[in-house]
């Protein structure tokens, strides 16, 4: 990898603590001395002014700071090294339930095996599990069906990075042997699945979707993958993501929406959502920092679950924002997502940000007892997909729910706090910027990572801490709002809820709810209290039992 080092040793023109040059960077200009005019320039960038005496006093301190930065940069940090400051989304006095009970998924005793392989491919996990347990289909045959579909369609969709055919078939045969011997691991026994290629798997490339890392091999396996494999899952492939977890543009192209090949799959869990939508796998693992499960689930017409921050271990996953990254399932049903979450849930000694919490789902729990709110202002107006959102409310009312209108109001704005993501991302990919590797990235527009990471170097540490303090206020206010309800229904992109709930760590379930005029799917989102995903699954499952939006298939791939 070519190293175009942006770090310069020797004297620098400082423009204050956030200055590009005082931080050891040059962007096409010659470096020079730390001077009062340079400090004035820095003040302009952050809205501060200093007297001549104050500037004179600062010069020696700035030189010392620069020396400390130069010394610090001699230590190379891997992306996997998390900060010593660990984000915790729990408001004061709140602790999640720790009593884990037995699961009751309410799965059928018998399921009819379809004749057509395409019909088999589009079956949800909770039905495939019955077929395998009853030995109506082998894991080997099911795995071969999905492998063939991946080989047939993945180039069209540009959704695959690594096909894991040999290891998948070996695992499938082992699952069949275990079942024949009377050993059944649970609902994921013998079920094929895929993962977003920011999760490490020993012996495979982990490309993060970005050119500088396209040949990267990480010598470990992510915790979530180990858990899925232990539960009997059969990993068939690693799917695309927008480079470094943004959008649907990766080093090999643009991942496509199976409903409209002229449209990208959205991101960043683009490949996972596209593959599930096209029937290439029954479920896949995605990640979300600021919409990367919700957005591709919407675009591709599938069901995505963003768990509470800290519920699922991030060990072995690429870090973009240590305080915002979350890992969750994308599938064809809310119930499937619950089954997968039950496996990947749990504290992990390898991830200090994980929080032990029970996930108790039972079909015996009555969803009619849930108190449902909805963000009323987001269901008003004349936007094109409003009718689809209102249909969800109508479905709930037809099932006897009383819907409680409310507004999402907070004393602090979420938009500025998102700068924390930018700072953490710039730190996670420090070398990418300093050594000029960012020039290799496909996307180079103003809102692409290369530019955002460069600009984030100018956000002062003091402001990052202030934003974190505002985030604490936001967490408290959202907790007070949410705790009055079991579930809140909202348009997936209504107002600032997507930003807010990603910052506060609240869980969300994104469900298909119809189609836009251009034929692309639309979605609705259910929000839950911290560590109460079972209520999202309960209500989502009930909605999907009374509608058929999630059962629709993209015609070009229904073969």
Which candidate, 196, 163, 191, places its Cα nearest to that of 274?
196
Question: CA 80 to CA 230: how far, in whole Å?
Answer: 23
Q: Which two tokens stand for residue 517?
A: 């005029």
Eight-state DSSP code of residue 186? -
133 is catalytic: no
CA distances from 175 to 138, 143, 189, 211, 451 (A): 9, 11, 7, 36, 47
Question: CA 108 to CA 92: how far, in whole Å?
Answer: 42
CA distances from 539 to 152, 183, 369, 392, 434 (A): 36, 32, 10, 11, 48
Question: CA 411 to CA 442: how far, in whole Å?
Answer: 39
3-state percent helix, strand, coil for the chain, nearest multiple of 5:
40, 15, 45
Q: Which of 55, 171, 196, 314 is catalytic?
A: 196
Q: Which two tokens stand for residue 205?
A: 């490339």
Which candidate, 498, 504, 496, places its Cα nearest to that of 468?
504
Q: Which of 266, 268, 321, 353 is catalytic?
A: 268
The H or E element that residue 230 is part of is helix 223-230
Q: In 10 A of CB 111, how many CB atoms?
A: 18
Q: Which of 292, 295, 321, 331 is catalytic?
A: 292
331 is catalytic: no
According to DSSP, the β-strands at 303-306 and 234-239 are unpaired
Question: CA 438 to CA 155: how far, in whole Å?
Answer: 26
342 is catalytic: no
Write out the catalytic residue numbers.
196, 268, 292
């Amino acid at each position: 990898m070519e190293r175009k080092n942006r770090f310069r040793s020797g004297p620098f023109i400082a423009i204050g603590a956030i200055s590009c040059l005082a931080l050891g960077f040059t962007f096409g200009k010659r470096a020079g001395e730390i001077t009062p005019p340079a400090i004035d320039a820095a003040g302009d960038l952050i809205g501060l002014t200093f007297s001549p005496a104050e500037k004179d006093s600062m010069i020696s301190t700035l030189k010392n700071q620069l020396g400390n930065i130069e010394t610090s940069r001699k230590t190379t940090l891997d992306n996997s090294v998390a900060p010593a400051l660990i984000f915790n989304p729990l408001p004061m006095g709140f602790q999640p339930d720790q009593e884990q009970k037995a699961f009751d998924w309410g799965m059928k005793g018998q399921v009819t095996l379809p004749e057509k392989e395409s019909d088999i491919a589009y079956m949800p996990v909770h039905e495939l599990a019955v077929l395998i347990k009853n030995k109506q289909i082998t894991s080997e045959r099911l795995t071969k069906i999905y492998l063939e579909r991946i080989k047939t369609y993945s180039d069209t969709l540009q959704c695959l990075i690594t096909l894991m055919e040999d290891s998948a078939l070996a695992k499938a045969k082992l699952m069949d042997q275990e079942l024949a011997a009377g050993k059944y691991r649970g609902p994921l026994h013998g079920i094929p699945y895929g993962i977003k290629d920011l999760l490490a798997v020993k012996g495979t490339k982990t490309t993060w979707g970005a050119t500088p890392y396209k040949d990267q091999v990480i010598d470990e396996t992510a915790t979530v993958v180990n858990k899925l494999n232990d539960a009997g899952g059969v990993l068939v492939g690693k799917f695309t993501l927008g480079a470094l977890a943004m959008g649907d543009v990766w080093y090999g192209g643009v991942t496509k929406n199976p409903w409209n090949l002229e449209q990208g799959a959205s991101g960043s869990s683009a490949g996972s959502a596209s593959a599930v939508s096209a029937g290439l796998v029954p479920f896949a693992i995605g990640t979300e920092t600021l919409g990367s499960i919700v957005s591709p689930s919407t675009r591709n017409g599938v069901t995505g679950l963003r768990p509470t921050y800290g519920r699922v271990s991030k060990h072995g996953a690429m870090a973009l924002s240590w305080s915002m990254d979350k890992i969750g399932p994308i599938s064809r049903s809310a119930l499937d997502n619950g089954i997968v979450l039950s496996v990947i849930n749990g504290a992990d000694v390898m991830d200090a940000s994980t929080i032990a919490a029970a996930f108790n789902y039972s079909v015996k729990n009555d969803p009619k007892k849930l108190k449902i709110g909805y963000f009323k202002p987001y269901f008003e107006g004349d936007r094109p997909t409003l009718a689809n959102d209102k249909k969800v409310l109508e479905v709930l009312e037809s099932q006897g729910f009383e819907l409680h209108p409310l507004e999402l109001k907070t004393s602090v704005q979420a938009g500025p706090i998102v700068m924390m993501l930018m700072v953490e991302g710039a730190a996670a990919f420090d070398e990418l910027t300093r050594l000029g590797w960012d020039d290799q990235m496909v996307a180079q527009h103003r809102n692409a990572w290369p530019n955002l990471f460069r600009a984030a170097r100018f956000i002062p540490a003091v402001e990052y801490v202030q934003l974190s303090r505002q985030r604490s206020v936001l967490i408290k206010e959202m907790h007070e709002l949410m705790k009055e309800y079991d579930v809140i229904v909202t348009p997936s992109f209504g107002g600032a809820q997507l930003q807010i709930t990603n910052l506060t760590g609240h869980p969300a379930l994104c469900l298909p709810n119809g189609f836009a005029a251009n034929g692309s799917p639309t979605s609705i989102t259910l929000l839950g209290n911290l560590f109460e995903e079972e209520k999202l699954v309960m209500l989502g499952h009930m909605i999907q039992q009374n509608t058929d939006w999630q059962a629709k298939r993209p015609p070009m791939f229904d073969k």
